[in-house]
A and B are shown apart, each in its own frame.
Chain A
Amino acid sequence: MAILVNEKTKVLIQGITGKEGSKVALQMQNYQTKVLAGVTPGKGGQEVHGIPIYNTVSEALENHPGINTSFVAVPNFAAYEAIKEAVEVRIPLINILTEHIPIQDSAKAITLAREAGVRIVGPSSIGIISPGIGKVGSIGGDDPRGVFRKGNVGVISKSGGMASEVSWILTKNGIGQSTVVGIGGDVLVGSSFADLMEDFEKDPQTEAVVLFGEIGGTYEEEAAELIKSGGFTKKAVAFVSGLFAETLPSGTKLGHAGAIVYGEKGSYKSKVNALESAGIKIAKTPDEIPEFLKNT
């Protein structure tokens, strides 16, 4: 079954004529994912890799009513309008690759999506892959087959690079993945750990979940709350990065916008304590994860 991306996934690419958009279009096609249409204002009527381009999302949808997923790869200044367009026509899943979207725009986009019952994954998301079935976004690059393998473990990661690295560690140890999701490292994200854990809970293919967290924000704490309230009952293993960052002055920015700690809130300790009190094992290095999945 997997979550979010399955055999029925039919993708629209917003920003298909851009560098990332066109590259990822080809990657998705090569991974047997159906890409029905693209949107770039002013370039309607053209094609990219044989995919028809439209000026607007609603035009694309009129011609391809089967579209159920939008992949957004437009520049940051145009992201809010692009997401709004996709939400207004109720495309059920929107995956946003775009990085550096102003937080105000993310907040507005997330609010619109919530009211419309639309699911956003991202911004700054590396993508979603259900190994052996399909992928949305740049996750796995040109050849996901070398890194990902179909199986029973769901992976949710703030870091795009680490989503692949963790999946590779699992694959290397004979553990396949149901779906791997990069939720992005921004302060505000459309889908949190807990949101996706609820999906994995319902997914019969998934037996366990790996959470790849990072200091900053409260999404790890929220995941712990979900488990404590009985909303997630499967096995879970977590890793939290960012101890080093806490040695730097409060408020210092590092890799991800969301990885910023003010005082106690969002600290490594707060996250590890919350997760451990919910019964989740914390791996000290990413390489301990397979062992914990097998033994707990």
Chain B
Amino acid sequence: MLLYEFEGKELFKKSGINIPESQLISGSGNQLISIKAPLILKAQVLSGKRADSGGIVKVTEIKDLRFKIKELFEKTVNGERVEKILIEEMVEVDKEYYLSFSYSTETRGPVMTFGEGGTGAEGKGAKTISVDPIKGFNGEGLPSELVEEGKKLWQLFIKYDCELAEINPLVIDKNGKIWALDSKIILDDDADFRREEKFPERNLFGRASTEREIEARKIDEGDHKGTAGSVYWDLGGDIAVIAAGGGGSIVNMDALIAYGGKPANYTEHSGNPPREKLKKLTKIVLSKPGLKGCWFVGGTANFTDIYETLMGFVEGLREISPKPTYPIVIRRGGPNDKKAFGELKVIGKKEGFDFHIYGRETPMTSTAKIMVDLAYGKQLSS
């Protein structure tokens, strides 16, 4: 989870990293402001490069403050509405640096990145040093005056189970005092179970989660038998997708788009989820108006029961109103697939669903073309 600047700075504060005096405001912006001018207004949005998009506003005269706050609240920064503003005292910068800890696939462990020059430095000649995750960070690679800050950031990185802990810029003022002027923290979601600090849900699309996204994520709550819907994104297209497997689902999305299909959503299920989970997921995916097709697709499963998952799909399908008349292309392989296909054929005929069923003998990605042709009214060439 990516944290907002103010959330990251709270963690800095708790870890003994010095941050400017600040105040967080939201809503009307009519709160009493205790920070003295000159000050900085910082839009709290998740996208980077806020300064280039007008998300950072300097206020030198206190008489301009109310107007500038109002103006910033009316803005969207990189597509995100500004709902909170962090007001900070101004710091007189003498030297600027970039400092972060993250994980590298090259060293397969944590690394420290340090560079001079602040914003943008991570791309320009900053150096990256491998850190032993067991022994910890000993200050290697940092100038002596920054070693203590480096160690504090490392402690934070480990304590809060971060994927990234970044201070950019890290500055030294004219009196030699060290300040963290911005924060970028990405928390490791897989460590949520042992992190005491909880943060509200957010969405990287720069919009609030849709009702379907919220509902889909609830499916796995409290039931760890397989997953279904814990990753679900609404997209702009008209072909509903119920894909299987974290890897296979992406392969299939690539194929659908390559053949000109417009996906209505992305979602996947894996790890042999029970029938009930597929039923719930199907109801959510197919609740969208204006669908032109539904693609239930997956590779040759190792252990997901194809009969159970497809029967869950059918149970969900039966509850969709009005009854779907668009083509439904199914491609799947794995345990109990033949039993599932036999039953699906009977159900399709009896209940009037436009099923097109393919097993492991048909290439998975070729059913993307079949789906696109059927959905958009082209004749099947075969």
In the complex, what residues of B have CB within 8 A of residue A250's CB?
Answer: 204
Compute how far the CA of A113 lies from the CA of B247 in the bound complex, rounded to whole angstroms: 27
Identify the stretch in B64-72, B83-91, B249-257, B277-285 within 8 Å (CB) of chain A at 4 or more residues: B249-257
Q: Chain B interface secondary structure, helix, strand, loop or mixed? A: mixed
Q: Are A254 and B231 in contact (CB under 8 A)?
A: yes
Compute how far the CA of A107 lies from the CA of B246 in the bound complex, rounded to whole angstroms: 22
In the complex, what residues of B have CB within 8 A of residue A251's CB?
Answer: 2, 186, 204
With contact pairs A161-B247, A164-B300 given, residues A257 and B231 touching in the complex (Cβ less than 8 Å)? no
Tell me, yes or no, whether A287 is within 8 Å of chain B by CB: yes
Q: Are B103 and A241 in contact (CB under 8 A)?
A: no
In the complex, what residues of B have CB within 8 A of residue A222's CB?
Answer: 106
Shortest beta-carbon distance, A61 to chain B, in Å?
23
Q: Are A159 and B161 in contact (CB under 8 A)?
A: no
With contact pairs A138-B302, A255-B250, A286-B365 given, residues A77 and B193 touching in the complex (Cβ less than 8 Å)? yes
Tell me, yes or no, whether A90 is within 8 Å of chain B by CB: no
Tell me, yes or no, whether B358 is within 8 Å of chain A by CB: no
With contact pairs A160-B247, A161-B248, A162-B251 given, residues A138 and B190 touching in the complex (Cβ less than 8 Å)? no
Tell me, yes or no, whether A228 is within 8 Å of chain B by CB: no
| B-contact 0/1 string along A222-244, CB 8 Å cutoff | 10000000000000000101111
With contact pairs A111-B132, A112-B134, A188-B105 given, residues A241 and B250 touching in the complex (Cβ less than 8 Å)? yes
Tell me, yes or no, whether A249 is within 8 Å of chain B by CB: yes
With contact pairs A159-B245, A241-B250 given, residues A165 and B300 touching in the complex (Cβ less than 8 Å)? yes
Compute how far the CA of A252 lies from the CA of B235 in the bound complex, rounded to whole angstroms: 13
Q: Are B363 and A110 in contact (CB under 8 A)?
A: no
With contact pairs A168-B333, A219-B105 given, residues A126 and B250 touching in the complex (Cβ less than 8 Å)? no
Interface centre among B302, B335, B364 (most CB of A within 10 A): B302
| B-contact 0/1 string along A244-268, CB 8 Å cutoff | 1101111111111111000000100
Q: Are B247 and A142 in contact (CB under 8 A)?
A: no
Q: Size class of B's contact patch?
A: 35 or more
Tell me, yes or no, whether B266 is within 8 Å of chain A by CB: yes
**In chain A between 59 and 77, which residues have their CB closer than 8 angstroms to a CB of chain B?**
76-77
Q: Are A286 and B245 in contact (CB under 8 A)?
A: no
Tell me, yes or no, whether A15 is within 8 Å of chain B by CB: no
With contact pairs A141-B303, A165-B300, A255-B250 given, residues A286 and B363 touching in the complex (Cβ less than 8 Å)? yes
Q: Are B250 and A254 in contact (CB under 8 A)?
A: yes
Q: Are B105 and A111 in contact (CB under 8 A)?
A: no
In the complex, what residues of A have CB within 8 A of residue B299's CB?
Answer: 161-162, 164-165, 168
Looking at the complex, which one of B206, B250, B303, B361 makes contact with A245 (CB distance below 8 Å)? B250
Tell me, yes or no, whether A151 is within 8 Å of chain B by CB: no
Q: Are A243 and B254 in contact (CB under 8 A)?
A: yes
Shortest beta-carbon distance, A171 to chain B, in Å?
10
Identify the stretch in A48-56, A97-105, A196-204 within 8 Å (CB) of chain B at 4 or more residues: A97-105
Q: Are A249 and B250 in contact (CB under 8 A)?
A: no
Tell me, yes or no, whether B158 is within 8 Å of chain A by CB: yes
In the complex, what residues of A have CB within 8 A of residue B289's CB?
Answer: none
Residue of A nearest to B2 (CB): A251
With contact pairs A138-B303, A147-B300 given, residues A188 and B248 touching in the complex (Cβ less than 8 Å)? no
In the complex, what residues of A have CB within 8 A of residue B189's CB?
Answer: 253
Q: Are B108 and A189 in contact (CB under 8 A)?
A: yes
Residue of A nearest to B123 (CB): A263
Residues of B that sit less than 8 Å from A by CB: 2, 103, 105-106, 108-110, 132-134, 158, 161, 163, 186, 188-191, 193-194, 204-206, 225, 231, 233, 244-251, 253-258, 263, 266, 268, 270-271, 298-303, 333-335, 360-361, 363-366
Other than the given A104-B188, A285-B255, 15 more pairs (CB < 8 A) read A77-B194, A99-B271, A111-B134, A138-B303, A141-B334, A147-B300, A160-B245, A161-B247, A161-B248, A164-B300, A168-B300, A248-B205, A255-B247, A285-B365, A285-B366
